[in-house]
């Protein structure tokens, strides 16, 4: 079969085409979404978290799901940017700065979703004043803050190097530190869940490497989609062979992620195992749509990435979007599903907002109850995403992110 590397070069459109009216409209729309999100967040703060779909039995919801998802997007982007420099191999055609800036935007959004999940964000200082260094939550805060700073330093060092003001050795050292931190940030996020012994679905040693593989999937997919879109808009010129290389890499990461998923399902659902309820909930229960969207979507992504005749830019973009949606569905399964199986079975106080009877105990209270976000949560989430789009577009317009000779 012949390799599909048609359109080896991007259209040689002038840079003004990208930085003209279209990007300005995008910035305005993103700014309006951000303002709307801020207004809804103020409404949430004034009326309390009772306006959300989160309750006693589902204390985390859409905001923390987005946090997990965006940490993966950010870590994956930085990994594929820094790894070639660390190991001295050929990169992906000088897209390093775009990948790092995308990673920075996603990290800012991840932190933003943690803030909007707090009922009293003005008390955030207490987290540091009375911190518990033995808590995975505190580990994640420290690592995520360090990761954001390192990402900014890495981008700054890359710009200095391309401007002739830095050495290749120092950039390689910074790349190595950034690579380790990128892997660590998603591992620590996984440990927040994996170390919870009271949650059947979360408590597994596989969660750490599984989170890293998922980060690589959605990170590479996001960079692919952004790069192809920017090439189409005339922002950069990139040989099609680099796009094909990233597509193949995406296919490998998808297969690894699906392998981890299969191992987890086999361990949980093997006859005599204690996780049969988990497998049933995912495959045929209330979370089945998310499960099958992930499995089918990621399988289709792998097919596109590994079939030369299918590796056209439109199908690669579609495959990348399918992979991103699939990993998001994985995060929904993990967070919502973890709360669906009670770890204690006893009669106790249940919020009046619980839609099921609780007289027969906690198990009955859980039955039929699946968290679903309120319109307010969707609005705040859209506002935070608008902030990310605003940062991305402003960076693309004003920062020197286009590839140079030293970028390759």
Q: When comparing pLDDT for 87 and 71, which is higher?
A: 71
Work out the average pLDDT over 346-369. Answer: 46
Distance in angstroms (rounded) separating the CA atoms of residues 362 and 57: 9
What confidence score (pLDDT) does residue 93 get?
57
Which residues are CB-neighbours of 367 under 8 A, at least 6 positions away? 356
pLDDT for position 351: 44
Q: What is the mean pLDDT of residues 344-373?
A: 50
The per-residue pLDDT for range 117-137, each reduced to its tens digit, is 988 888 888 888 888 888 888
| φ, ψ at 194 (rounded to 5°) | -65, -25
The residue length of the chain stands at: 408
**DSSP element (H, E) containing 281:** helix 276-283
pLDDT at position 362 is 45
Q: pLDDT per residue over 165-213, tens digit each?
A: 877 888 888 889 988 888 888 888 888 888 887 777 887 888 888 888 9
Domains of the chain: 21-195+377-403 (1.20.1630)
- Mean of per-residue pLDDT scores for the chain: 82
The highest-confidence range among 5-19, 207-221, 312-326, 390-404, by mean pLDDT, is: 312-326
Q: Which long-range contacts (CB under 8 A, 24 or more apart) does 80-86 make?
A: 80/216, 80/219, 80/220, 80/223, 80/246, 80/249, 81/154, 82/154, 82/175, 82/176, 82/178, 82/179, 82/182, 83/179, 85/171, 85/172, 85/175, 86/172, 86/175, 86/176, 86/179
Least confident of 15-19, 305-309, 332-336: 15-19
Looking at mean pLDDT, say which of 2-6, 18-22, 169-173, 389-393 comes out highest. Answer: 389-393
**Cα–Cα nearest to 76, from 226, 192, 238:** 226
Give the pTM: 0.83
Residue 229: DSSP 8-state: H
Secondary structure (3-state) at 58:
strand
Strand partners, 55: 58
Query: How confident is the model over 66-95, as a mean pLDDT?
Result: 80
Picking from 7-11, 61-65, 238-242, which range would have the lowest pLDDT averaged per residue? 7-11
pLDDT at 279: 85
Q: State yes or no: pLDDT of 3 exceeds 90.
A: no
- pLDDT value of residue 73: 86
Which pLDDT band, with edges at 50, 70 and 90, does 392 fall under? very high
pLDDT given for residue 7 in this prediction: 42
Tell which residue, 185, 187, 193, has the closest CA to residue 60. 193
Look up residue 49 and give its DSSP letter.
G
Distance CA 51, CA 46 (A): 10
Q: Where are the beta strands (DSSP E) in 262-372?
A: none
The pLDDT value recorded for residue 370 is: 66
- CA 80 to CA 97: how far, in whole Å? 11
Count of other CB atoms within 10 angstroms of residue 221: 30
């Amino acid at each position: 079969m012949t390799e599909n590397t048609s359109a080896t070069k991007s259209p040689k459109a002038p840079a003004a085409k990208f930085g003209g009216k279209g990007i300005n409209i995008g910035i305005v729309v993103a700014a309006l979404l951000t303002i709307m999100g801020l207004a809804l967040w103020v409404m949430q703060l004034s009326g309390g978290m009772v306006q959300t779909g989160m309750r006693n039995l589902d204390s985390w919801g859409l905001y923390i799901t987005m946090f997990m998802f965006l940490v993966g997007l950010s870590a994956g982007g930085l990994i594929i940017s820094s790894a070639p420099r660390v190991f001295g191999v050929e990169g992906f055609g000088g897209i390093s700065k775009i990948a790092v800036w995308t990673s920075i935007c996603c990290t800012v959004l991840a932190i933003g979703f943690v803030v909007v999940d707090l009922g009293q964000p003005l008390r955030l200082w207490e987290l540091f004043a009375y911190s518990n260094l033995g808590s995975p939550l505190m580990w994640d805060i420290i690592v995520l803050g360090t990761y954001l700073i390192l990402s900014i330093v890495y981008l700054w060092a890359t710009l200095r190097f391309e401007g002739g003001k830095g050495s290749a050795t120092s950039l390689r050292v910074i790349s190595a530190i950034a690579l380790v931190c990128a892997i660590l940030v998603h591992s620590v996020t996984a440990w927040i869940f994996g170390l919870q012994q009271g949650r059947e679905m979360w408590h597994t040693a596989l969660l750490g490497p599984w989170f890293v593989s998922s980060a690589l999937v959605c990170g590479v997919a996001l960079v692919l989609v952004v790069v192809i879109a920017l090439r189409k808009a005339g922002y950069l010129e990139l040989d099609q062979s680099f796009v094909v290389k990233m597509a193949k890499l995406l296919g490998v990461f998808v297969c690894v992620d699906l392998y981890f998923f299969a191992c987890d399902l086999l361990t949980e659902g093997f006859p005599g195992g204690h996780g049969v309820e988990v497998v049933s909930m995912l495959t045929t229960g209330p979370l089945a749509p998310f499960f099958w969207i992930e499995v089918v979507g990621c399988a289709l992504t792998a097919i596109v990435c590994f079939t030369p005749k299918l590796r056209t830019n439109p199908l690669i973009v579609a495959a990348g979007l399918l992979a991103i949606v699939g990993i998001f569905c994985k995060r929904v399964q993990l967070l919502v599903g973890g709360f669906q199986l009670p770890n204690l079975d006893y009669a106790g106080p249940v919020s009046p907002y619980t839609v099921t009877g609780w007289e027969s105990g906690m198990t009955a209270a859980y039955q039929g109850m699946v968290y679903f976000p309120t319109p307010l949560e969707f609005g705040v989430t859209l506002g935070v995403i608008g902030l990310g789009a605003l940062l991305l577009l402003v960076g693309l317009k004003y920062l020197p992110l286009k590839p140079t000779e030293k970028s390759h």
